[in-house]
Amino acid sequence: MRTSVLCLLFAAVFATELYPQPNFHRTIHPLDVYTNGFCLESGAPGTAQGVGSQQYVAVQPCRYGQIVSNWDGQKMTLGLGAIGGVAAAVVTVGDMQDIRQKYGLTSNINDQTAYLSIHFDEAKSKMVIVGKDATSSKMTFQDMITPDSAPLMTTKSGSVNFEPKAGFVYIGRLTPEPVSNSWEDTTLFFKLLVLEDGNGATDPEALEVRWDIFSVGSGVSIPTLPDDLCSSALSAAAGANTTGAVGVVMSILALMGVIAIPILFFIFRRRLIAFTSV
């Protein structure tokens, strides 16, 4: 409740349309009971401690799907989906050198633009990426090739696992039920960049990933604030050591004060002017 209210307060201050693609930067560790997985839609830990009669039970808070890590003693893998009632698909697009070569990107298109441009064009029902002739003043797109898009049309029940490689870009898609050769019923569409893959180690190491949600299904609710802004606000609130409703009330009062001060100043200023002119 407190988390939701705080995020809503910040949403009231910062226009949500400025952040059309929520993204999450997380460190995943297979041995940590809380951070061995995260909710894809919110970036929240994939495991939480229950409350009430479930106080000592690990519960799964994710609504649409998880990203989880697995260590088999020799290598690290990532799994997408990983909760009941979710089907998933994933495709490996490659590192930025692979992407530039496959799509003929010129030097005027940097790697950041190439990554950020990957999305699903809902009007054309196609996966697209920045065009070969794109410039900073004229953005164009080209269809993604069949090996980078067709596998996403078919989702399978349960977790879809793959071996992550640092610097590689992956595209994932979630649906409520398995679908075959269809873009219908998409819950979440996202791209994933692996920063640290945890492989090559004799002991399990943390993975570092970033994912961007670029398309959601009808009725799907996800955060619209940039992840770093909301996380910073929540961490600061938690560090303030305020409790439950008191923290929420204080936050609301602070926001009301920021809004009210200019209004009150304007009203009293007009009254003061009227008084002195009599």
Looking at the fold, whether 30 and 85 belong to one and the same domain comes out as yes
How many angstroms separate the CA atoms of 89 and 160, rounded? Answer: 6
Q: Please say which residue of 176, 203, 222 terminates a domain.
A: 222
Q: 139 in a domain, yes or no?
A: no
Considering the domain boundaries, does residue 78 fall inside one?
yes
CB half-sphere exposure, 93, CA atoms < 13 A: 30
- In a domain, residue 5? The reply is yes
Measured distance CA(230)–CA(44) in Å, rounded: 12
In a domain, 4, yes or no: yes
Does residue 163 sit within a domain?
Answer: yes
Residues 13 and 30 in one domain: no
Model pLDDT, residue 166: 94
| 86 and 155 belong to one structural domain | yes
For residues 75 and 176, membership in a common domain is answered with yes
Instruction: Decide if 138 is inside a domain.
Output: no
Look at residue 133 in the predicted model and tell me its pLDDT.
Answer: 82
Per the domain annotation, does 236 fall within a domain?
A: yes
pLDDT of residue 259: 73
The verdict on 35 and 87 lying in the same domain is yes
Same domain for 88 and 156, yes or no, is yes
- Structural domains counted in the chain: 2
DSSP-derived pairing of the beta strands 87-94 and 207-216: unpaired
- Other CB atoms within a 10 A radius of the CB of residue 203 amount to 8
Claim to verify: residue 162 and residue 87 sit in the same structural domain: yes
* Tens-level pLDDT at each residue, the chain (278 residues): 444 444 544 444 444 344 557 899 999 998 898 899 999 999 999 988 888 887 888 888 899 999 999 888 888 889 998 888 899 999 999 999 999 999 999 988 999 999 999 999 999 999 999 998 887 778 899 999 999 999 999 999 988 999 999 999 999 999 999 999 999 899 999 999 999 887 666 677 889 999 999 999 887 877 766 565 555 544 444 444 434 444 555 656 666 766 767 676 666 555 545 545 55
Residue 132 lies in a domain: no
Shared domain check, 56 and 164? yes
Q: Which domain holds residue 14?
A: 1-19+224-278
Q: How far apart are CA 12 and CA 71, in angstroms?
A: 42
231 and 202, same domain (yes or no)? no
Q: What is the pLDDT of residue 52?
A: 84
pLDDT value of position 256: 72
